[in-house]
Structure formats: structure tokens, C-alpha cells
Amino acid sequence: MLPGTATPVPLSQGVLLSLLQQLACDIHADTPRKLTWMTDVAVAIVPTDPMIAMHVRPILEQVYQILSHHRTLPTVSAAEVTSIRLVMHVINSILTTCK
């Protein structure tokens, strides 16, 4: 489900995983909105889906590293740091389930 919608958006797991990666790669622009989207996308990812299973770990680790670096930047607000931590927590949770 994307922000402001009441029904799930019919996106495949591959599209969701790719979207999460693309949002992370361009996190510097419109950060608060992208963090909201990243949270929504991350919770919708099913790491055991056969279409994405082999790609989940490397992509989520990449996104996690990008967020980890971004939250240390001096231009990031306290609210953004909180949102980044939330996304990182969701990613970490997914990573622990797909060992």
C-alpha cells in the first residue's frame, strides 16, 4: 500500500524490491517522502517469493548501507533520522528471516 491509499497497489515483488533500491539510490532528493514510501514498500516485500528470493539479501544489504551512511550526514533532520531507523529496522527484520 502506498501512502494515502486504502487498497494495496498491485505491484509484483520484483517491482517492489527494485523500487526500494531506486528510492535508496536517490534518497538525497525529497527524503521525507521517499522514506515514507520505503517503509511501505519494505513491509510489503515477501523475501521468500521465488521471483526475488535470490536478490533480496544483496539488495536489502545495499539499501541498508545507503541508509546507514545517509543518517550520519549533517544535513539530515532528527525526523529523517527517526524514519531512516524505522526503515533500517524493517530491513534488518527481513534479513534475519531470510538467512
pLDDT in tens, 24-60: 999 999 999 999 999 999 999 999 999 999 999 999 9
In a domain, residue 82? The reply is yes
Task: Judge whether residue 78 has pLDDT over 70.
Answer: yes
Q: Rounded to two decimals, what is the model's pTM?
A: 0.87
Number of domains in the chain: 1
Task: Judge whether residue 70 has pLDDT over 80.
Answer: yes
Domain that holds residue 31: 13-98
In a domain, residue 83? The reply is yes
Residue 29 maps to which CATH number? 1.10.220.100
In a domain, residue 2? The reply is no
In a domain, residue 47? The reply is yes
Instruction: Report the distance separating Cα 14 and Cα 99, nearest Å.
Output: 19
Q: How confident is the model at residue 1 (pLDDT cuts 50, 70, 90)?
A: low
In a domain, residue 5? The reply is no
What's the confidence (pLDDT) of residue 8?
59
In a domain, residue 4? The reply is no
